[in-house]
Amino acid sequence: MTWRATVLTLFPEMFPGPLGVSLAGRALASEVWALEARDIRDSAMDRHRSVDDTPAGGGPGMVLRADVLAAAIDAADATSERPRLVMSPRGRPLTQARVADLAAGPGPLIVCGRFEGIDQRVIDARQLEEVSIGDYVLSGGEIAAMALIDACVRLLPGVMGKLESSTEESFSAGLLEYPQYTRPQLFEDRPIPEVLTSGDHAKVAAWRQAEAEALTRARRPDLWALRPAQITGPKSESRKSPKNKTDG
Ligand code: ADE
């Protein structure tokens, strides 16, 4: 079965958007995956086609109605066992592991929030999993849904070549990518690091590992603290490493 993303949105015209070009777009055209963008407003129940109302208890903005959104979910996904996600800054942060998990399944149904929020009862009643793509607030869930779908699609069989897969493994191993260089050899007085043009593959690998570790420690102490014990080399300062019991 083709991997399929179903998106429930008030702005279906935003799709496929960036998912229609480049890697994801080519895979979409060749039917490696399918995208279904459904308009939540098609499930509105009154003649004004209203989908939102003022928040119970007062406050600014508008809240997406539970009955309308539930009807939209049921129409899209009445019986399936697919993951049902709702993009929200208060969700669990998306990780590469969750992306891999979603890519391995049939493909999710994704609700895109707008307004101040979604009636909690539909989140509970339809068991929506809230997912965040970072600690900042977008004006709606659509761009977040696109980010999630893009991250999944590039993992589908046949979408990526070998080169990109190795990048994948590196991030999955818990380290940020080492810096890359290409011609010209000299750019504005900056040469390519000598080791990379030495032809010594072992030295190149060691340099890249050291750079990746240094970057991760400096920029992402959270990732550094989580890295699996087996990727720490003998010279690392891991407290877990039995060879370095006295280190840091
Ligand atoms: N909707 C608005 N902001 C978001 C975020 N950071 N992640 C997921 N969905 C969102």
CATH number for 3-153: choose from 3.40.1280.10, 3.40.50.300, 2.40.50.140, 3.40.50.720. 3.40.1280.10
Q: How many CB atoms lie within 10 A of CB 133?
A: 20
Mean pLDDT, range 10-34, rounded to an integer: 98
- Hey, whose CA ends up nearest to atom 5 of ligand 1? 89
Q: Percent of the chain having pLDDT more than 90?
A: 81
Least confident of 50-64, 75-89, 134-148, 234-248: 234-248
162-207 per-position pLDDT tens digit? 656 656 566 668 899 999 999 999 999 999 999 999 999 999 999 9
Mean pLDDT, range 91-113, rounded to an integer: 97
> 172: Cβ–Cβ under 8 A, 6 or more apart, which residues?
96, 97, 100
What number of residues does the chain have?
248
CA 34 to chain centre: 18
Euclidean distance between CA atoms 167 and 239, whole angstroms:
27
Among 98, 206, 191, 181, CA closest to 147: 98
Choose which residue among 90, 132, 149 to substitute to test ligand 1 binding: the one with the highest number of ligand atoms within 8 A of its C-beta: 132
SS3 for 155? Answer: coil
128: buried, middle or exposed (CB in 10 Å: 19+, 13-18, 0-12)? buried
Mean pLDDT, range 84-97, rounded to an integer: 97
Least confident of 108-117, 136-145, 184-193, 205-214: 108-117
Euclidean distance between CA atoms 21 and 222, whole angstroms:
33
Euclidean distance between CA atoms 238 and 231, whole angstroms:
10
Q: Percent of the chain having pLDDT more than 70?
A: 88
In this structure, what token pair is assigned to residue 102? Answer: 């979603």
CATH superfamily for domain 168-227:
tRNA(m1g37)methyltransferase, domain 2 (1.10.1270.20)
Q: How far is the CA of 131 from the centre of ligand 1 (A)?
A: 8
Most distant CA pair in the chain, distance? 73
pLDDT at position 245, please?
A: 38
CA 29 to chain centre: 21
Domains 3-153 and 168-227 share a fold: no
Burial of 193-205, coded b for 16+ CB within 10 Å and e otherwise, reads: eeebeeeeeeebe
**Which band of pLDDT confidence, cut at 50, 70 and 90, is reported for residue 78?**
confident
Mean pLDDT, range 198-221, rounded to an integer: 98
**Which band of pLDDT confidence, cut at 50, 70 and 90, is reported for residue 64?**
very high
Report residues whose beta carbon is within 6 angstroms of any ligand 1 atom: 87-89, 113, 132-134, 136-138, 141, 144
- Hey, whose CA ends up nearest to atom 6 of ligand 1? 89
Choose which residue among 64, 86, 87, 123 to substitute to test ligand 1 binding: the one with the highest number of ligand atoms within 8 A of its C-beta: 87
pLDDT at position 162, please?
A: 66
pLDDT at position 228, please?
A: 72
Domain boundaries defined on the chain: 3-153, 168-227
| Averaged confidence pLDDT in the chain | 90
Mean pLDDT, range 133-153, rounded to an integer: 97
pLDDT at position 198, please?
A: 97
